[in-house]
Structure 1
Amino acid sequence: MFKHLKQGAACAIALLALSANAATWTLSGDLVTHDPDLYKENSTWWIVETSDTGIGVKYSADGHAWKQGVSIFGNGLSWWGQYNGNSKTVWAPDVHVWNGKAILYYAVSTFGSQKSAIGLATASSIATGNWTDQGAVLTSAAGGDFNAIDPNFFVDKAGQPWLSYGSFWTGIYTTRVDANTLKPIGSRYHLAADSSGIENAFIMSNGSYYYLFVSKGTCCAGANSTYHISYGRSTSITGPYLDKNGVNMLNGGGTTLDAGGGRFIAPGGESVSNGVMARHELDSQNGYNGVLFMNDLTFVNGWPTY
C-alpha cells in the first residue's frame, strides 16, 4: 500500500548494527523505500518500489550500497488517472526477467479504494530500461470481492507463469497468465484472507513446497502501524497454504516471520531474490519513513527463517 515517501533521500544506516536479526545485510546509501521488490539481473541488484512519481528504482553493484535511479514513467501515464486520481503515484511494482525480456507489473489506485488496476510494462532488460507500457491487465471496481493491487509474478515448477494479487477485502488470489501476453487467463484461486488486513503476496518455491508470504495488519499509521510478515506453505501453487500450526491461510492462518520491534517497526512489502528477502521497516526515529532491510532467507525443517 502507498505511503508518502521522501523519495531519493539518503539514509546511510548500518542496519546490521541496528537489527537483532541474524544474517542481516549491512546497507548504505539511498535506503528510504516502501514495498521494495528485489531482483538480481546478471551482476546488478535492482529494486522497484512504491513511489509518488511513477515507479521508483534503486540499483546496487553488490546489494549493499544502494543508489536511487530514474523513475519509470515518472511523469505518469494518461490511463492511470481513472484509478489514481490523475496523480503519478504507483504502488508495489514487481519486476522479473521472463523469456528473455524484462517484465514489470505495477498497481495504480488510491488509498482505501477498490477502483484499481494492475499494469504491465516490458523492456529488453532491466538495465537497459527501455520500458514500453502494455496497459492494464487486471482491474477491480467498487463493490467487487477483490482489489487489483500488489501484483506478484511467479513461475511454477512446470514452467507455467502465474500472477498473484489482492489487498484487504477478501484477500489474496492467483491466476495463470499467458506465457506470451502475460495477461491473466483461466480461473482464479483464493489463497489467503485475514480480517486484520492482508496484502503484498509473494510466492516462491523451495524443495517440495510453495511458500506464500504476505504482509498483514496496517501499513502506514506511524506508531500505530501493525504490519508484519507472515507465511504458509503448500505442495500446490493454488493451495491450500497452511502455517506451522496447520491453519489454512484462507482462515486467517499464517506464521509470523518478522514483526519488527525497537526502533524499526511494521515490516512488510516483502520480496525474495537469490535467497535474500527485502522489505521495508518504519523508522520510529525518522518520521516513520520506510527503510530498506535485507536478510539471507534460509529454511529449517521446511520452514523459512532469517
Structure 2
Amino acid sequence: MYKHLKQGAACCLALLAFSSQAATWTLSGALTTHDPDIYKEGSTWWIVETSDTGIGVKYSADGKAWTQGVSIFGSGLSWWKTYNGSTTGIWAPDIKVWNGKAILYYAVSTFGSQKSAIGLATATSIATGDWVDKGAVLTSASGDDYNAIDPNFYVDSSGQPWLTYGSFWTGIYTTRVDSSTLKPTGSRYHLAYDSTGIENGFITKNGSYYYLFVSKGTCCAGASSTYHISYGRSTSITGPYLDKNGVDMVSGGGTTLDAGGSRYIAPGGESYNNGVMARHELDSQNSYNPVLFISDLTFSNGWPTY
C-alpha cells in the first residue's frame, strides 16, 4: 500500500518500453526502475530512483539508451537506521542543479510508518558525483498528520526555493526552504489529499500556472495495483490546485493524466524535466516488474498531456 522498496536496480534488462501514445519514447538498456526522477545536466540525462542499496542512479547520452550507474551512498549512512532499521534502502530521490551545485533530496522510511525523514546531499555537479550528505532536513513521527517522504524541490517565479513532500495520511504539503541551507523554513501549505492514497507530489510551471502532479492509489500490488498519475493547476505555488472540473486537490480533486494500458499498468512515481515526464509502469507480462517510461509532456489549452 505504501512506497515500494524493491526495484532491482542492479539488473540491466534490455526491455522495450512502448505505448500507443506517439509522444512516448522508445527506450533500451537498464529500464527496471521505481520512482524515477529525471534531470538533464549539460548533454547527459540522469535518473535517480528508489533502491535497496542507497540511491539508485542511471545515465544516458540521449535519454533513450540507459546504463545503470553506481548507487550513491550504496553502503548506507549510519543515521538512516533511525528511520529504516538496518536497511540501506532509500526511496523517491529528487535531483536538481541549482545555485551552482547539484542537490539531492531523498526519503528514509519503512512501509506504512510515519517515522520518516527526508535527507539532503550536495555535490559539485551530478557528473562529478562528489556527494556530501547533510543529514535529515525534515522528519515525521507517529501521530503527525503528514509523512516526511517523497521530496520534490522547485524554485518559484520569484526565485524562492520550495520543498514539496508527503504520502498518505493527510496528503501533500509544500514549504519554503532556506536558499543557503536548503532546509525547510516557515509555514507549510496543504496542497492535496485523496482517501484512496496519494504521494509523490511534483511541481512544475508552464505559462501563468503551477502544476501539481501526484501518484494516487496503490502502487505495488501486482494485478490489483491502482496507481495513476493525476494533476491540478494553480496561479500560486501554495495553491489551491484545481482540476479540470474546478475541484480542489485538497478535497480529492485531480484530473487523470495516465492510468496505464493493457500490458503496462499502474503508472506513477512521476517526474518532469526538460520537456519530458518519466514514470514507472508495471509490466503485467513480467511479474509486474516496474519499467521506465518517458514521454514528451505538452500543454494544450493550459492543461498537460502526452
Taking structure 2 as the reference length, the TM-score comes to 0.98
What corresponds to 1:267 in structure 2? 267
What corresponds to 2:219 in structure 1? 219
Provide the C-alpha distance between the structure 1 equivalents of 2:233 and 2:160, rounded to a whole number of angstroms.
19
> How much has 1:10 moved relative to structure 2?
2.3
Which residue among 4, 7, 13 is the counterpart of 1:5? 7
> How much has 1:134 moved relative to structure 2?
0.0
What corresponds to 1:51 in structure 2? 51
What corresponds to 2:258 in structure 1? 258
Alignment check: 8 A CA contact 1:280 1:292 kept: yes
> How much has 1:108 moved relative to structure 2?
0.3
How many corresponding residue pairs? 304
> How much has 1:51 moved relative to structure 2?
0.2
Alignment check: 8 A CA contact 1:146 1:167 kept: yes
Provide the C-alpha distance between the structure 2 equivalents of 1:87 and 1:6, rounded to a whole number of angstroms.
15
1:67-121 deviations in Å (ceiling 9; x for gaps): 0000000000000001001100100000000110000000000000000000000
Which one-letter code corresponds to 1:273 in the other structure? N
> How much has 1:8 moved relative to structure 2?
2.1
Provide the C-alpha distance between the structure 2 equivalents of 1:243 and 1:143, rounded to a whole number of angstroms.
30
> How much has 1:285 moved relative to structure 2?
1.0
Provide the C-alpha distance between the structure 2 equivalents of 1:187 and 1:55, rounded to a whole number of angstroms.
29
Runs of 4+ aligned structure 1 residues displaced above 6 Å come to none
Three-state SS of the structure 1 residue aligned to 2:54 is coil
1:152-194 deviations in Å (ceiling 9; x for gaps): 0000000000000000000000000000000000000000000
Provide the C-alpha distance between the structure 2 equivalents of 1:218 and 1:278, rounded to a whole number of angstroms.
19
Three-state SS of the structure 1 residue aligned to 2:223 is helix
Which one-letter code corresponds to 2:10 in the other structure? G
Provide the C-alpha distance between the structure 2 equivalents of 1:198 and 1:71, rounded to a whole number of angstroms.
27
What corresponds to 1:186 in structure 2? 186
Provide the C-alpha distance between the structure 2 equivalents of 1:151 and 1:7, rounded to a whole number of angstroms.
20
1:100-153 deviations in Å (ceiling 9; x for gaps): 000000000000000000000000000000000000000000011000000000
Provide the C-alpha distance between the structure 2 equivalents of 1:165 and 1:158, rounded to a whole number of angstroms.
21
Three-state SS of the structure 1 residue aligned to 2:88 is coil
Provide the C-alpha distance between the structure 1 equivalents of 2:16 and 2:146, rounded to a whole number of angstroms.
39
Provide the C-alpha distance between the structure 1 equivalents of 2:132 and 2:44, rounded to a whole number of angstroms.
21
Alignment check: 8 A CA contact 1:3 1:220 kept: no
Three-state SS of the structure 2 residue aligned to 1:223 is helix
What corresponds to 1:177 in structure 2? 177
Which one-letter code corresponds to 2:181 in the other structure? T
Identity %: 79
Three-state SS of the structure 2 residue aligned to 1:261 is coil
What corresponds to 2:296 in structure 1? 296
What corresponds to 2:202 in structure 1? 202
Three-state SS of the structure 2 residue aligned to 1:73 is coil
1:133 equivalenced with 2:130 (yes/no)? no
> How much has 1:287 moved relative to structure 2?
1.2
Describe how 1:1-306 pairs up with structure 2 within 5 A.
Answer: 1-15=3-17, 18-306=18-306
> How much has 1:11 moved relative to structure 2?
2.6
Alignment check: 8 A CA contact 1:175 1:185 kept: yes
> How much has 1:7 moved relative to structure 2?
1.7
Provide the C-alpha distance between the structure 2 equivalents of 1:2 and 1:97, rounded to a whole number of angstroms.
26
Which one-letter code corresponds to 1:220 in the other structure? C
Alignment check: 8 A CA contact 2:8 2:51 kept: no
Alignment check: 8 A CA contact 2:12 2:29 kept: yes
Which is further off, 113-122 or 5-14?
Answer: 5-14
Provide the C-alpha distance between the structure 1 equivalents of 2:24 and 2:253, rounded to a whole number of angstroms.
27
Taking structure 1 as the reference length, the TM-score comes to 0.98
Alignment check: 8 A CA contact 1:232 1:254 kept: yes
What's the Cα RMSD here?
A: 0.7
